[in-house]
Structure 1
Amino acid sequence: MTHDDVTGVILAGGQGRRMGGRDKGLEPFGSARLIEYAKRSLDGRVAEVLINANRHLDDYRALGCRVISDRESGYQGPLMGIWSGLEAAQTPWVVIVPCDSPALPDDLVARLIAAIGEADIAVAHDGERDHPVVALIRRDLTADLGEALKEGERKIDRWYARHVWTRADFSDCPAAFANLNTEDDKARLAQQLRAGDA
């Protein structure tokens, strides 16, 4: 598998409830907005970057990416965003990342590819826990996910469990998967990153 076989999908379609209903992807963090950090982790490492968003679509399009909204309305969660990304992708594989994890490693895509083996899904694991919204997924699973959603499934890990999946080891950089749900989270990660640069 090469990067030409992979589409990157950034999940930015949530309601941002814990951040006062603000659009998390457009939140400032350090010198950029959160969506820009997610995009940097994929740029040049995948055939195309798609942004899954349900509001402020023009702001996201200004980043030069194809923007796709959830195929069904109602903010139904990340699994709906993943399905929408799988449907829109034109490559055999899709890498999913969240819009609110600004410290994702530069070699994220390469490490997910290296881990996939014969599996259909590779999920990032930080040494202690899985991060199901950071994953490499075979696009052939699109129809199955559509069926699962139709049946009412909204839990990512339960859908993964229907398939052959594996873990990609990121135990050397657990802080990379910190996701920013609140202002406190933003302040904490900013402090951690500053300490890392000291």
Structure 2
Amino acid sequence: MAVSIAPQQITGLILAGGRGSRMGHVDKGLQAFRGKPLAAHALERLSPQVHCLAINANRHENDYAALGAEFHALVWPDLLSDFPGPLAGLHSGLTHCSTDYLAAVPCDSPLLPADLVARLAERMEQNNADAALAVTGHYGQQQRHPVFCLLKKTLLPLLTQFLQDDGRKMERWFAGIRTAEVHFDDETAFSNVNTLQELHALESTGKIEKLESE
């Protein structure tokens, strides 16, 4: 089946707006991994998959602007106060983006798949869904990765209302909309860094032995 969603219709968003509480409140996206900030790896991997890029950041906006300059990436902070979580980043992305679709990835997953967006778009089309997200694992031990997602721009009013009603949990948000799941075999590609120990482990071994669920 041919995919009708073209990269030119998609804005890519790096989610870097969190507090980094489990990493001692440092800005995760700016931590070094193999000689470059974590967010730089995400930008490099996502850039070929989308039409344009942006970074959702609430701290060190100038640093992120400099990091994204090579990719002409804009910095879009949350439009809601008090760091309400990744859904606020998606809300900012959907509000600002001028394309029909928004593809989001976290800043702390430097090994994300090169075919992530294409596969999410294909399954979204096949299932006539409004969103698609990545899944790994097998046989009752599957793990959903809602921060790796593709969303229709038309979801903005629903997400705005959800947040206004104090909704914060990504799983609850996705449960209320038509969402397609896309299975990926390589779990390492979705390794995300929550602590400095995990960052060092991923850098030295290429994997995180015990990954805390988000």
Is the TM value for this pair above 0.5?
Answer: yes
Deviations along 1:46-97, one digit per CA (max 9) or x if unpaired, are 1110100001111111122100000012111111111111111111111010
Structure 1 stretch displaced more, 181-190 or 26-35 = 181-190
What TM-score does the superposition give when structure 1 sets the normalisation length?
A: 0.94
RMSD across aligned positions (CA): 1.1
User: In structure 1, what residue type is equivalent to 2:198?
Assistant: D
User: In structure 2, what residue type is equivalent to 1:28?
Assistant: A
Q: How many residues align?
A: 193
1:131 matched to 2:145: yes
Point out where structure 1 has 5 or more consecutive residues left out of the alignment: none
Alignment correspondent of 1:144: 158
**Which of 98, 119, 122 is equivalent to 2:132?**
122
Return the alpha-carbon distance in structure 1 between the equivalents of residues 191 and 91 of structure 2. 23
Deviations along 1:35-56, one digit per CA (max 9) or x if unpaired, are 0111012112211101000011
**Which of 187, 190, 213 is equivalent to 1:177?**
190
- The answer (yes or no) to whether the contact 1:7–1:93 under 8 Å persists in 2 is yes
Return the alpha-carbon distance in structure 1 between the equivalents of residues 194 and 169 of structure 2. 19
- The answer (yes or no) to whether the contact 2:49–2:114 under 8 Å persists in 1 is no
- The answer (yes or no) to whether the contact 2:17–2:59 under 8 Å persists in 1 is yes
Return the alpha-carbon distance in structure 2 between the equivalents of residues 114 and 99 of structure 1. 24
- The answer (yes or no) to whether the contact 1:9–1:97 under 8 Å persists in 2 is yes
Q: Percent identity?
A: 41
Partner of 2:147, secondary structure, is: strand
User: In structure 2, what residue type is equivalent to 1:114?
Assistant: E
What TM-score does the superposition give when structure 2 sets the normalisation length?
A: 0.87
- The answer (yes or no) to whether the contact 2:11–2:101 under 8 Å persists in 1 is yes
- The answer (yes or no) to whether the contact 1:41–1:108 under 8 Å persists in 2 is no
Return the alpha-carbon distance in structure 1 between the equivalents of residues 29 and 200 of structure 2. 16
Return the alpha-carbon distance in structure 2 between the equivalents of residues 39 and 112 of structure 1. 18
Point out where structure 2 has 5 or more consecutive residues left out of the alignment: 208-214
Q: How does 1:83-102 map to 2 (within 5 A)?
A: 83-102=91-110
